[in-house]
Amino acid sequence: MSSKSQPLKAATAARAAKAPAAAGARQTQKEATRSRVMEAARELFDTQGYQGTTIREIARHAGVSVGSVFTTFASKYEILSQVMEDRLEGLYAELDRVIPHLRGPTVDRLRTMFAIHFAFEARHKRLFLAYIAAAFDWTLPPTSLPMGRNQRLQGIIADCLSKGVEQGDVGSGFDAQEVIDLLMAAYIWSYRLAAWHDADATTMTSVMDRQIGLICDGLRPRTRGGPPTDYPSI
């Protein structure tokens, strides 16, 4: 080996050794930027609303450049989606823990499930209202997942209805998706009370309880050509 090639190989080896460390540092910095952007966005969406918050404000609040925000997220809505997805993990962990132990008629199980939702979201009502409002933004890309397209919530409701059919307090001749849509519409519409009157979880839960009762009354098993079969009052 020539004396000239030895320094070159040593330099190449040194660069190769530094490359993983540099890549790791860049990844760490990227994750830190992402965390700061999400924390800033969560606070601003919760205080100013989705429409009232700009990417520039999020960047300034996070202490990063606007370019850094767009390097990490494709759009403002993507930031909101990630903020909500991270929060909802806590909600669904609670539901996964509670739901398997729920007993009683379908109406009571639905009421408990939605009461858990209200109690969770009422901690940051404005943030959740921002998420609801974004669902009606017609400029969102088809790949977005606003409130209403959340398959976890729809799946939980569907499972509850299926169990109701099995235990006999829900009839089988209904369109499950229509009932799911009704329940989700009632749930989302209840948040008008939070937007207009700053209602708390207890108030919204009370309203939703009555609406669930009306919906479940229509789901009772019916005799052919007759009224709903006699079943414990809901």
| CATH (domain of 170) | 1.10.357.10
- Identify which of 147, 119, 152 has the alpha carbon closest to the alpha carbon of residue 134: 147
User: Is 195 in the same domain as 206?
Assistant: yes
- Identify which of 231, 98, 222 has the alpha carbon closest to the alpha carbon of residue 167: 231
Residue type, 23: A
In this predicted model, which residue has the larger pLDDT, 16 or 109?
109
The domain boundary residue, chosen from 47, 73, 99? 73
In contact, 191 and 204? CB cutoff 8 Å: yes
The chain-wide mean pLDDT, for the chain, equals 85
User: Is 125 in the same domain as 222?
Assistant: yes
| pLDDT of res. 130 | 86
User: Is 133 in the same domain as 92?
Assistant: yes
| pLDDT of res. 86 | 85
User: Is 85 in the same domain as 55?
Assistant: no
The domain boundary residue, chosen from 24, 40, 73? 73
- Identify which of 69, 16, 65 has the alpha carbon closest to the alpha carbon of residue 41: 69
122: Cβ contacts below 8 Å, ≥ 6 apart? 194, 200, 201, 204
For residue 91 the two structure tokens come to: 């909600």
Sign, Cα dihedral of 149, 151, 153, 157 = positive
User: Is 233 in the same domain as 131?
Assistant: yes
| pLDDT of res. 230 | 46
CATH number, domain with residue 36? 1.10.10.60
Inform me whether the pLDDT recorded for 33 exceeds 70: yes
CA distance 124 to 76: 19
86 secondary structure, DSSP code: H
| pLDDT of res. 87 | 84
In this predicted model, which residue has the larger pLDDT, 1 or 168?
168
Inform me whether the pLDDT recorded for 187 exceeds 90: yes
| pLDDT of res. 11 | 65
User: Is 14 in the same domain as 130?
Assistant: no
The domain boundary residue, chosen from 28, 46, 73? 73
Inform me whether the pLDDT recorded for 76 exceeds 80: yes
What CA–CA distances, in Å, run from 120 to 2, 66, 70? 71, 32, 30
User: Is 174 in the same domain as 83?
Assistant: yes
User: Is 133 in the same domain as 39?
Assistant: no
198: Cβ contacts below 8 Å, ≥ 6 apart? 125
The total domain count for the chain is 2
Range of the domain at 175: 76-234
1: Cβ contacts below 8 Å, ≥ 6 apart? none
Kindly state the average pLDDT of the residues 121-134: 88
User: Is 80 in the same domain as 68?
Assistant: no
Q: What is the pTM of this model?
A: 0.77
In this predicted model, which residue has the larger pLDDT, 200 or 46?
200
